[in-house]
Structure 1
Amino acid sequence: MRNERIRYLIVPGWHGSDDSHWQSHWQRALPNATRVEQADWITPQRADWVAALDREIRREPGRVVLIAHSLGCVTVAHWAARADRRLLAQVAGALLVAPADVERDSCNEALRNFAPISLQSLPFPSVLVGSDNDHACSPQRAMLLGRLWGAETVILPGAGHINVKSGHGAWEAGFRHLFRLQYLIDQQSLRRA
């Protein structure tokens, strides 16, 4: 993943990603990696989170790969549905890990303003990684979101919410999904050449 032209933008979910979260490990490990910082991690507002993502993409000098977790995945979908064409073209691809189903009955009230989830197909290659026992999104719902977003979808067995609590600290095994995304990005570039 040592491509100096590509920058990685970490898009955390609700409460952010603390130092032991795999997104923080990846930010330290990947070249040219930065993160979206939100003004309010506790009571997130959809418009604010989408605007923060938009600002960070605008700050990037070139192509960017989004690496989103949980509510960050929903933020990416909302952003892609309203972003201008120039900014959309700047996104090389997105890795969407453990999307939060903010439409589920058990969803925390603080997250409900992110519903309804944008179901438009993402205009860039994407890989969605879900789990068959994620409290925040059923595997059936993750598969549906992946299909509607146009993402290649993988459902991991017993991975929970793919966070520190479910045993995914550095989550080095997750890099294979990032490599798969890079392959999809490269394939799209070849088709356009």
Structure 2
Amino acid sequence: MATTLLVPGLDGGGEGHWLSWFEATIPDTRRMAPPDCKNLDLSEWSALVRWHLQRSEDPVWIVAHGFGCLAAVRAAVDCADRVEGALLVAPFDPDNMRLAWMLPEEPLGFPAAIVASTNDPHMRLSKAAFWAGYWSCEFVNAGRAGGIDPAAGFGPWPDGRAIFHELQRSPAAIVRQLAGREAPHLSRAI
């Protein structure tokens, strides 16, 4: 069984945030406490994500928001064998933050989806689509959804939960899950 690691953004994903709703409704979920929400040190943030990934006994699904998406991607490529997949919601634009050089330059190596909006203050939709293509992620246009946070009206977010479940049931995710398991009928034959 997989664990779900929630990686909040700068707002911490507190009470009333859709991340809190995910935490309350998805079994075996753990939330990462961000280092310092005013500190945009991607190395520090990604080291914390990596720490959580390496200490999980089970494979991990990542659900990240905002700046947490950048930290999750950076850490996850170092631990791709531990990651089942990732839902990256309203990521910050790494080019605007001069952090793109710290991110992977190839497909992520696990199923992933980027959810972005047409009026996100931290990343233009076209840039989010670019990163989705660059990393071979699914791309979801959420419409006029701002930063997909409580300020934009996102507390409970059933559409986000549906996107996450669809990602978990994608053919790429199922193949990845099966590849990590020993086939009982083959072990008996050997």
TM-score (structure 1 length as normaliser): 0.85
Q: 2:5 is matched by which residue type in structure 1?
A: L
- Distance across 1 between alignment mates of 2:100 and 2:158: 31
SS of 1:80's equivalent? Answer: helix
Note the C-alpha offset of 1:101. 0.5
Unaligned runs of 5+ in 2: 184-190
Look up the match of 1:7.
3
Q: Post-superposition shift, 1:187?
A: 4.4
Structure 1 equivalent of residue 19 of structure 2:
23
Q: 2:165 aligns to what?
A: 179
Identity %: 29
What is the TM-score of this pair, normalised by structure 2? Answer: 0.86
Residues 139 and 161 of structure 1, relative CA distance in 2, 3 Å threshold: same
Counterparts of 1:80 and 1:54, CA distance in 2: 7
2:6 is paired with a residue whose SS is: strand
Choose 1 or 2 for highest CA Rg.
Answer: 2
- Unpaired runs of at least 5, structure 1: 105-111
Tell whether the 8 Å contact from 2:50 to 2:76 is kept in structure 1 after alignment.
no
Determine which of 132, 135, 138 is the counterpart of 1:149. Answer: 135
- Describe the SS at the equivalent of 1:116: helix
Q: Retained in 1: the 8 A contact 2:70–2:92?
A: yes
Show the counterpart of 1:116.
Answer: 101
Alignment-derived partner of residue 102 in structure 1: 94
Aligned 8 A contact 2:84 2:176 in 1: no
- Does structure 2 conserve the Cα–Cα contact (< 8 Å) formed by 1:15 and 1:42? no
For residues 87 and 35 of structure 2, what CA distance do their matches in structure 1 show?
A: 23
Distance 2:102 2:148 in 1: 20
**CA RMSD of superposed structures (Å):** 1.8
Structure 1 position 114, deviation (Å): 3.6
Q: Count how many residue pairs are aligned between Structure 1 and Structure 2.
A: 178
Q: Tell me the SS of whatever aligns to 2:44.
A: helix
SS in 2 for 1:146: helix
Question: 8 Å contact 2:42–2:70 — kept in the other structure?
Answer: no
Q: String of CA shifts for 1:88-134, please: whole Å, max 9, x gaps.
A: 11110000111110323xxxxxxx36443524311100011111111
* Runs of 4+ displaced beyond 2 Å: 112-117, 187-193
21-30 vs 114-123, greater mean Cα deviation: 114-123
Deviation at 1:24, TM superposition (A): 1.1
Aligned residue in 1 for 2:84: 92
Q: Partner amino acid for 1:94? A: A
Answer yes or no: is 1:161 the counterpart of 2:147. yes
Tell me which of 8, 32, 35 is aligned to 1:36.
Answer: 32
Deviation at 1:42, TM superposition (A): 1.2
